[in-house]
Chain A
Amino acid sequence: MSAIYILWLRELKRYLRSRVQIVVSLGQPALYLVALGFGFGPVFAKAGAGSYLQFIAPGVMGMTVLFSSVFSGIAMLWDRQFGFLKETLVAPVPRLYIMLGRTLGGATVAMIQGVLILLVCLIAGFRPQHWISVPFAFVFVAMIAIVFAALGTTIGSVIKDMQGFQLIMNFLVMPIFFLSGALYPLSHLPLALSIVTRMDPLSHGVDGLRGALIGTWRFGFILDIGLLGTMAAVFLGTGAYLFSRIEV
């Protein structure tokens, strides 16, 4: 158990020590929020859909948690490159613990990022519908973080170079983001697209965040939590398996 803790702590320390990186990683979501939130705001309002800033803020939170958690897993590439991964792989502890420590550490960092971006949203003018349901948003932030940190670990166990990373970014992470409904409502989509968006775990994460923060549900609490929970189990399972198979 202490092995899980020490690796979790390592992820956290690395995050807290790289102040510049914290600012940088909040810059992109802040840009989305301001540029898109205010840029598309009038169009959105004209279409009778209300405030775009209110709509997009939970989406931007979901996006922040997605990128932060996937990257933490893919950061294993650096540990592979700089050799530290070997030190943990040859240690007399089950690989599962190593994998869990890393993944939970990455997820924790992503949760912190998610909370920070909520503060940015509040500064930009976003207001939750009911403050009392904000804790539910934290539940969804945690779920998104665990699902995608586990996915990140799964990917990190398989790819070995930067080309692999680019491939994953363009053909997996970006689609997960753009098809999640973080930026646009998922109603009135062509059938094929609609099916894809329903299978995207981030759709359910963002839906949960919208439900908790602005009171609009598309899929409903039970379905969102259920799907995210299932995905978390699946990715943790495959991640643990693939991590245990790493040979250096």
Chain B
Amino acid sequence: MIRVEKLSKTFDSFTAVNNISFEVAQGEIFAFLGPNGAGKTTTIKMLTTLLRPTSGTIELDGLNPAHQQKEARQRFGIVFQDPSLDNEQTAYENMELHGVLYHVPHKVRAQRIEYLLKLFELWERGDDYVKLFSGGMKRRLEIARGLLHTPKILFLDEPTLGLDPQSRNQLWTHVKHLNETERMTVFLTTHYMDEAERVAHRIAIIDHGQLVAQGTAAELKARTNSESLEAAFLALTGDSLRDESAQSADQMRQFAKMWRR
């Protein structure tokens, strides 16, 4: 369903993603893990046509997103790392707008919006402005919105960041359910190892822009002789803190962007 070959992204002199290759099968839940600034979000942005790769190829459901952008976009749903809702519109209007942009036929649209808002327990709040929603509700709405056009692939970039355990638990239950019932492929990133272990069929770990390991949670643990996925993760990526380098890398990236324009 997703095929990535020798993918790289360079921001001027900084290489955010360095020659990575992997495949995700249809119906698979694939977790993409890595420390801050390792290149997770950059990879997702390239997969979802928001960034042009410097080199390498991407295939989504047999399509090349660089050339068949519109078709590719129609096939995936995405929940971004930071919110992307229109706060000044109601939940229903946010769904409606998405439905129009994604060519969901008028009749089906109303039904699907109702179904999804009910599924994510937001139906009663459908006519409230999104700015009045809590963080958890916003996340749920974003996922509901991402599913509106029945995508074949769902990208989730740290969807549980800042959520309480209840919301996280509920969110993954939904995602697993959709994956099982609709055979939807899921590509996710997270910092919570227990989540990755619980929901993902396969895991890839990226560090400094390079893939350091791929496999099931059990395989990764066996390979590193670790008891938990967290220990395996630390064994593979080292235990030095990344915040500093990640931040300066972010700054550099922004700086580079600024001067390119």
Binding site for B on A (CB under 8 A): 2-3, 5-7, 10, 13-14, 17, 79, 82-94, 158, 160, 247-248
Contact = CB atoms under 8 A, between A and B. Distances in A.
Interface stretch (B99-107, B165-173, B185-193, B201-209): B99-107
B98 interface: yes
A87 B84 contact: yes
Given A2-B100, A90-B49, A247-B52, A84 B84 contact: yes
13 contacts: A2-B100, A3-B100, A5-B100, A7-B97, A13-B89, A86-B50, A87-B84, A87-B86, A90-B78, A92-B103, A93-B101, A247-B51, A248-B50
B84 A17 contact: no
Residue from the set A17, A90, A247 with the largest chain B CB neighbour count within 10 Å: A90
A16 to B, nearest CB: 11
B162 to A, nearest CB: 14
A91 B102 contact: yes
B100 A90 contact: no
B73 A6 contact: no
Nearest to A94: B70
A84 B73 contact: no
Nearest to A18: B88
Nearest to A164: B258
A158 B261 CA distance: 7
Given A91-B101, A92-B74, A84 B86 contact: yes
B48 interface: yes
A6 B97 contact: yes
B85 interface: yes
B244 interface: no
B106 to A, nearest CB: 9
A83 B84 contact: yes
Interface in B52-104: 52, 69-74, 78, 80, 82-89, 93, 96-98, 100-103
A2 B101 CA distance: 8
A82 B258 CA distance: 19
Interface in B181-234: none
A86 B80 contact: yes
Nearest to A14: B88
Nearest to A98: B101
Contact of A3 (B87, B89, B93, B101): B101
Contacts of A83: 80, 82-85
Contacts of A91: 73, 98, 101-102
Given A6-B97, A84-B87, 18 more contacts: A6-B100, A6-B101, A7-B97, A13-B93, A83-B80, A84-B85, A86-B84, A87-B84, A87-B86, A87-B98, A90-B73, A90-B78, A91-B98, A91-B102, A92-B102, A93-B70, A93-B101, A248-B45
Contacts of A158: 261
Given A90-B78, A92-B74, A160-B258, A82 B87 contact: yes
A212 to B, nearest CB: 35
Contacts of A7: 97
Nearest to B74: A92
B84 A92 contact: no
Given A92-B74, A93-B70, A247-B52, A10 B97 contact: yes
Residue from the set A7, A83, A88, A89 with the largest chain B CB neighbour count within 10 Å: A83
A204 B252 CA distance: 44
A91 B149 CA distance: 11
Contacts of B96: 6
Nearest to B145: A87
B254 to A, nearest CB: 8
Nearest to B84: A83
Contacts of B101: 3, 6, 87-88, 91-93
Contacts of B74: 92
A79 B86 CA distance: 8
Contact of A92 (B70, B82, B83, B261): B70
B48 A90 contact: yes
B154 to A, nearest CB: 13
A124 B83 CA distance: 46
A90 B48 CA distance: 7
A90 B257 CA distance: 19
Nearest to B88: A14
B36 to A, nearest CB: 19
